[in-house]
Structure 1
Amino acid sequence: MFAKFSVNQLRKGIAKASLVSYFPKGIIPSGDKFLAEIFPNGNYTRFNHFHVITEGFMYNPPPDNAVFRIFSFTRFMWKGPFPPGRSEYENKGNDIMLKGIALFLKNYGKPLDIHFIEKGLHIQESKELIDSLGFSDMVTWHKGMPFKELQAHIIKSDVVFEQLGNHYVSGGLYAMLLGRPVIGNARPEIFEPLLKEPTPICHALTAADVCDWLQKLTADKALLHNIGVSSRAYVLKHFDIKNETLFFKNFIEEKLARKQA
């Protein structure tokens, strides 16, 4: 009873809002449905809350690694069904990444230096999958670490993997700021119309996509560099937290100007 009352109160509160700050439409379908029920006529302004702090994140040129280095700090969560309280939208598609790496190793035979973090629901399942795919000797597992240490791993890597499932690239934006190509599901169907610009993220949905990107990036240092540069520029242009401040400032000023008119 109390939960139902709370939800109803929440709906009433949101319905009075002139501005709703939420993820871009399409990322969380259940949230989109919730807003559509509250605003059936679509009579509200939606601010696409999707920004990162950019200050202090400098560009770093590609490292001179003897062996191509991969880093992923995405939590391992991919094997369904998910437990209660977890949504299928949280699927990170780590199995796609692992199978793509295995396909690359099979097709091209180049060694890789792979670094993962032990976090998520499916660490053991991931280790077993890696064993079955035959490249556990190339993988180094790390415990959770402070963000500064995480940055150091990003800078030492040639490429960073993000989610390949139903979610969206988020933490990978920091890797892009630091000048690293990111392989992941870029959700171009959402972000390219929204931002009116093609994504520099190495978009991948399948193991074959992952394999193709690894082949391109390991074979072409110039491509590795260029994607890193364009990735940083893309984040600075579209995802700088300063854009949020400017948006809210302009929105409030416009509202006040209308009241005074």
Structure 2
Amino acid sequence: MYKTNGLRIAFLSNMNNNHFALARYLRDEGFDCELLLFTDEQDHFHPKCDTFTLEFMTWIKRISWGSERQLLTINPKVIQADLDKYDVFIGCGLAPAFLCKAGLLLDIMIPYGNDIWSETMYRFALPHYIAKSISSTYFQRKGLSQSKIVNCALGAGIYGSRIRKLCSNSLFWKFDIPMVYHRQYADPVVNGGSHWISEFEAVRNNADLMVVAHGRHVWGNASDPNVKGNNLLIKAWHLFCQRNPSIKAKLVFIEYGQNVTESKQYVTDLGLNASVKWFPQMFRKDIMPALLMADIVAAEFVHSWIGGGVIFEALVAGKPLLMHSIEHEKSTTMDNLYPIYNAKTPVQIAARLQEYVENKERGKEIGLQGQYWYKKYVVDKALTRYSQYFEERAAELGKVPR
């Protein structure tokens, strides 16, 4: 793919495998993209966790920096040397901070959450760590303020006002990026499969209703944007099972998040152990077969989001989403939104589950409409805008875009 006079694009960091997915789409379009992994990347978001092939090894590189504790002492020349050959920088995490320290500008910031939340707040730290924490926050704020573009849907989410304040000088692209590379999940068995498939099949074969809720377990106050409402779903599941004792129903959870223990205890307290199946934390390529087998995918019930990993994974799988969405409540037309089972309280969630079992064909149609929406309004829209930007930058630099 490399051209001597071609535009070279660097994706910095890979939280949630977001950049890996977007880079794959753009490489399919002929752009020369590489993904640079930071030193503090989470193992379960490594590119190998989201692909059935080894092709990625030719364009993925691990660099020697990226963590908060490195920012204070790193020599800017190290950053400059690692990035010297690239023309466009797309980042998340602390990418704005490191580029700022090196005197570079981030072309496009794609925030995932904490990079514009906790990472931009001056906070208490141990005495030996105070200087590093302050330095990181300072450069992150400054780097964000200098970012040319912020790609963020900016819906009703709790992050909206903060990112507008931090990036007041930036151009906003108010659409979601395609976080999930849908082209490999049409048939996971053909594409390499997963050793978890038989385990999920065992659940599917013994259930009239299979609901998958594979997001993090985070309990707490609604002021925390990470809170998911797992307890609300568990209570709703209790109500639904009480009302439908003849239905063989299974709720699939993943042991992921800081409050797994609390969720397990609540399941036990409500006598739901027989109808709830737990699986260990796993890679996206392993969890996707479960979604493809499921009837419904449950997302979040405290905060309102239109996009996100759990949501987009469900849409790619073609399954109806059970979730809370203010945007869906406000919308007078569904032209630019996918249909969902909208609910927030345990009573509402249980009612939506009841609605599905009483009209499964409608549920299947909701899932297929969501799948179409993802391809048209997320994938196609993002590729059009990114392609346009790369072509504009290539023209400015006198280079070939692809």
Q: What TM-score, normalized to structure 2? A: 0.53
Task: Tell me, yes or no, if structure 1 residue 160 matches structure 2 residue 302.
Answer: no
| Gap change, CA 1:227 and 1:245, over 3 Å in 2 | closer
Shift of 1:99: 0.9
Separation in structure 2 between the aligned mates of residue 142 and residue 104 of structure 1, nearest angstrom: 22
Q: Which runs of 5+ in 1 are unaligned?
A: none
Are the aligned partners of 1:175 and 1:181 in contact in 2 as well (CA < 8 Å)? Answer: yes
- TM-superposed CA distance for 1:229, in Å, is 1.1
Between the aligned partners of 2:349 and 2:341, the Cα distance in structure 1 is: 9
In the TM superposition, residue 102 of structure 1 has moved relative to its aligned partner by 1.0
Q: Does the CA contact (< 8 Å) of 2:151 and 2:176 recur in 1? A: yes
Cα distance, 1:95 vs. partner?
0.7
Query: Cα RMSD (Å) of the superposition?
Result: 3.4
The residue number in structure 2 matching 1:204 is 343
Secondary structure of the equivalent of 2:344? coil
- SS of the equivalent of 2:239 reads helix
Is residue 98 of structure 2 the alignment partner of residue 98 of structure 1? Answer: no
Give the drift of 1:228: 1.5
Q: Distance in 2 between matches of 1:254 and 1:193?
A: 36
Q: What percent of counterpart residues are identical? A: 21
Measure the CA separation in 2 of the matches of 1:227 and 1:34: 32
Which 10-residue stretch deviates more, 113-122 or 143-152?
143-152
Which fold has the larger relative contact order, with Cα–Cα distance below 8 Å and residues 6 or more apart in sequence? Answer: 1
**1:33 matched to 2:162:** yes
SS of structure 2 residue aligned to 1:209: helix
Paired residues, what number? 247
Give the corresponding residue for 1:231.
370
**Residue 67 (structure 1) aligns with:** 208
* TM-score for both structures, normalised by structure 1: 0.78
In 2, Cα distance between equivalents of 1:210 and 1:57: 28
Write the distance in 2 (CA, Å) between the matches of 1:223 and 1:35.
38
Give the match for residue 387 of structure 2.
249
Deviation larger for 120-129 or 16-25: 16-25
Quick check: 1:139 aligned with 2:279? no
Contact 1:24/1:49 (8 A) holds in 2: no
Question: Residue type of the partner of 1:216?
Answer: E
Contact 1:69 1:114 in 2 (8 A): yes
Indicate the SS of the match to 2:183. Answer: coil
The 3-state SS of whatever aligns with 2:184 is coil
Q: Note the C-alpha offset of 1:150.
A: 1.0
Once the two structures are TM-superposed, the CA of residue 177 in structure 1 deviates from its matched residue by 1.4
Once the two structures are TM-superposed, the CA of residue 149 in structure 1 deviates from its matched residue by 2.5
Structure 2 residue runs without a partner (length 5+): 1-130, 189-203, 397-402
Distance in 2 (CA, whole Å) between partners of 1:99 and 1:58 is 33
Contact 2:254-2:280 within 8 A present in 1 as well: yes
Shift of the alpha carbon at 1:199?
A: 3.1
Q: Find the structure with the greater CA-based Rg.
A: 2
Deviation at 1:159, TM superposition (A): 1.1
Deviations along 1:98-141, whole A, 9 cap, x unmatched? 11111112233333122211121112211221122222111121
Q: Distance in 1 between matches of 2:141 and 2:133?
A: 12
Kept in 1, the 8 Å contact 2:337–2:373? The answer is: no
Per-residue Cα deviation, 1:21-74 (whole angstroms, up to 9, x for no partner): 235244243x633532552xxx642023432222223289xx887521111111
